[in-house]
A and B are shown apart, each in its own frame.
Chain A
Amino acid sequence: MKRDPGLYDYLPYTRRPKIEWPNGARVAFWVAPNIEFYELEPPKNPSRAAWARPAPDVLNYSYRDYGNRAGFWRMLEAMDRCGMRGSVSLNVALCEHHPEVIEACVERGWELYSHGTYNTRYTFGMSEAQERALIQDSIDAIRKASGQKLDGWLAPALTYTERTLDLVAEMGLSYVCDLFHDDQPGPVKTARGRLASVPYSLEMNDVIAYNVNLVSPRRYGEILRRQFDRLYAEGAESGTVMCIPLHPYLIGQPYRLKAFEDALAYITGHDKVWLATGREIARHFIDRYYHAFAQASHSVHDF
């Protein structure tokens, strides 16, 4: 095992090349709904149990199924009302299980990127060949369902091997959402290819807010506004990124929707916000700043 993932060099926040987003925007804002399929009784992975309770975990399975039956559609309406496209972090088996969900995303011009095959199949312990097969499955499924080239990766249930990001870059993807070390995009050091880290967020993620930090819906709305206000102010110096990662089974609960929608309307109502997708942010960064950021970074030497 390594002491350092070796994925990025050090680059202090206030000593960087200036990022300019399109049309003078201060913040590149994106919304990343995690559209997931959890299996009722997945095969066992030695590193992680799929469910908290013994099978069949009716409560936790059905709670997540709510997202596809009900929550997604409510979230979709709220995003439509705010003119916000989604960048879908997709368990690609959902293309087969629930094609209606995929159609609704594609017809709105939403981006589909990969969150693995199922949220109950973990990457921990996979061989290189297995992991390549997993990534190829996503490339194929997303192209077949939407015609889109797969550009982004958020590891299924945030499970990895040491080679995950190397393989993702080698197989032609341009960005990852798995690194939480920054509020701006940055270069990821991979064996081949040019891979950008696009800031996603655990702090803004509804699953962390609601299932881990146990916040109330109105408090979540307040958190989103405060995060945005600060990134918007700082973005006057150099462009920042804000992401709201969502889970329709959580944010699509009736009592949670309005506080989210109000915050979304607040954010999208600002002048200098680029309402973007993950792919668009990655492309803009890679074309203009990847090299400059890599050049400015300080390599890190362990003691």
Chain B
Amino acid sequence: MISDDYLEYPKRRYGMDHERYEWSILPRRAPISWPGGARVALWVTVSLQWFPLDMKGQPFKPPGALQTAYPDLRHYTLRDYGNRVGVFRVMQALERHGIRASAAMNAAVASRYPALLEEIVSKKWEVVAHGLDMDHLHYEGMKGEAELISEALRLLGEKATVRGWLSPAKSESHQTLDLLAEAGIEYVCDWVNDDMPYEIRAGGKTLHAMPHSADIDDVQILVANHHAEDDFRDALVDQFDLLHEESARHGGRILAISLHPWAIGQPYRIGALESALAHMMRHPGVWPATGAEILDAWKAQRAAQGNSTA
């Protein structure tokens, strides 16, 4: 039996069914021009993650979670491979083209492997907070969320300036955005509904949503979809080609590539990333930048446009 109020729709109205952000049509916005007249801002994020051996997986197991009965040495170490080996392979692939990435770091990685954090800071990569670790998801009903955020930001903030946040598994409670804004975070990477930044309400403050991708993601394509390395390369190339072409008509676009060194950093896979990057960097008008740099350029453009469109 279904009660009659199941056919009542109190939020059936113009725009969204919530108050976080405004409805906005991508191709009807004022075009953005990136620094130097670039057409595509290339935003590479490298997630540096630690999956504790005793992980509980609450309220659900994040992508990449440990799987066997305790102790699951095989998945623990395969994930940690990214922090020891894979990330350095990714760094070399990016450095060849002068690309600086945004490292989305679990605070536990910064705390456990300070040498890795130093390496990232010395390469002038951006550090984006990626929660405490992969077994501390943010979810409705959790306890101590504000403390969890401040602990993560404290550990990461000792050696880096942190402006952006990527929730582990992109999972949020109803309060997460408000607490992040309160803690001084400027942008979040959890929402995948746009190809460009947009403003998102967070308590009395305004955050920006950055278009971190769930699709153009090595774990999604290579691990979840079981696609071959060449399919991953093709996806990156096709994503780039379309955005580069579209930018001629609609203004600057952002190509967000989400990488996890435990996946893409394997010797047999790294070449797919290298091939795709070589394809992109052969084109004129590609601006490799960090998330914060892209957001700053976008905000400056929007201010110049008088914030005339949502």
Contact = CB atoms under 8 A, between A and B. Distances in A.
B215 A43 contact: no
B15 A97 contact: yes
A69 B193 contact: yes
Contact of A254 (B18, B24, B141, B246): B246
A62 interface: yes
A59 B23 contact: no
Contact count band on A: 35 or more
Interface residues of B, number: 56
A56 B59 CA distance: 12
Interface string A58-88: 1100111110111001100000000000000
A130 interface: yes
A134 B2 CA distance: 13
B118 interface: no
Interface string B184-195: 000000111111
A189 interface: no
Contacts of B192: 59, 62-63, 66
Taking each of A58, A97, A125, A258, which has the highest tally of chain B beta carbons within 10 Å of its own beta carbon?
A58
B6 A255 contact: no
- Interface residues of A, dominant DSSP: helix
A133 interface: yes
B69 interface: no
8 contacts: A53-B59, A56-B173, A62-B190, A63-B192, A69-B24, A70-B195, A96-B12, A100-B28
Interface of B: 1-2, 4-7, 9, 11-18, 23-28, 59-60, 139-141, 167, 169-174, 190-195, 214-216, 224-227, 231, 234-236, 238-239, 241-243, 246
Given A73-B26, A218-B234, 18 more contacts: A40-B18, A56-B172, A59-B170, A59-B192, A59-B214, A62-B190, A63-B214, A66-B192, A68-B23, A97-B14, A117-B7, A126-B2, A133-B7, A214-B226, A216-B234, A254-B246, A255-B215, A258-B241
